[in-house]
Amino acid sequence: MRNLVKSFGTLPTLIALLVLVVGCSASVGAETLTHSASAPYQPETRTFTITAVPLLVHEQQATMDYLKTDFAKGGILDGKEVYGFSPSSITVYAGDTVNLTLVNPEDDAHTFTVPDLNINVVMKGQSSTKTSFVVSKPGIYQFVCAEAEHAPYMWGQIVVLPAPSAQ
C-alpha cells in the first residue's frame, strides 16, 4: 500500500481516482439500461380522409366568364377539368397501416390510383369509399386520378418515412 500510495501520490489523489472509476462505470451502466429499455418502432394505424375537390370545372363557366376561353376548343383546359385531392400529401412510417376514406361529393367519377403499390380504387360520384393498406418500404409514392380528363392536375403523394430506429 505504501508503494501504491507512493506511485499515485497522496491519499486525496487516490480518492479522486476511485471516484472517477466509480463514476465512469455508473454512467456506462445507465447508458446500457437506457439502450436496452427502448423498443423498436411499433407500427401504427393511421387514418385519413381524402376528398376530391373541384378547382376549375366546366360548371364554373357560368360564374367565371374567362373560363369559357379556357375550356373552348384550343383553350388551355380543352378536354380537361382541374380537380384536386384534399389533402394531397399524407405522411406515415414504413410498416404503418394506412386507413383511407375517399370522399367524392361530385357527380364526376374519380379514382385513387397508386401505380407503385398496385392500388386502384374507383371513387364513384357522390360516394364515400374506404380502403386500407400497409406500405413496408420507405419512399415517396405518387397517387393520381386515372380519369384522362383530370390528368395531369389531380395527384398527390404518400410520404413513407423509414421507421424510427431505437435510440
Residues lying near Cu ion in the complex (CB under 5 A) = 83, 110, 145, 147, 150, 154
Q: What residues contact 3, with CB distance under 8 A and at least 6 apart?
A: none
Beta bridge partners of 102: 50, 129
Q: Helices marked H in 38-113 — which ranges? A: 67-71
* Closest to Cu ion by CB, 80 or 150: 150
Q: Smallest gap, in angstroms, from Cβ of residue 92 to Cu ion?
A: 23
* Closest to Cu ion by CB, 80 or 92: 80
DSSP structure class, residue 117: G
Q: Give the C-alpha separation, 23 to 19, whole Å.
A: 6
Q: Smallest gap, in angstroms, from Cβ of residue 101 to Cu ion?
A: 17
Q: Which residue number places its CB atom closest to Cu ion? A: 145
Q: Smallest gap, in angstroms, from Cβ of residue 45 to Cu ion?
A: 27
* Closest to Cu ion by CB, 70 or 147: 147
Q: How many CB atoms lie within 10 A of CB 139?
A: 14
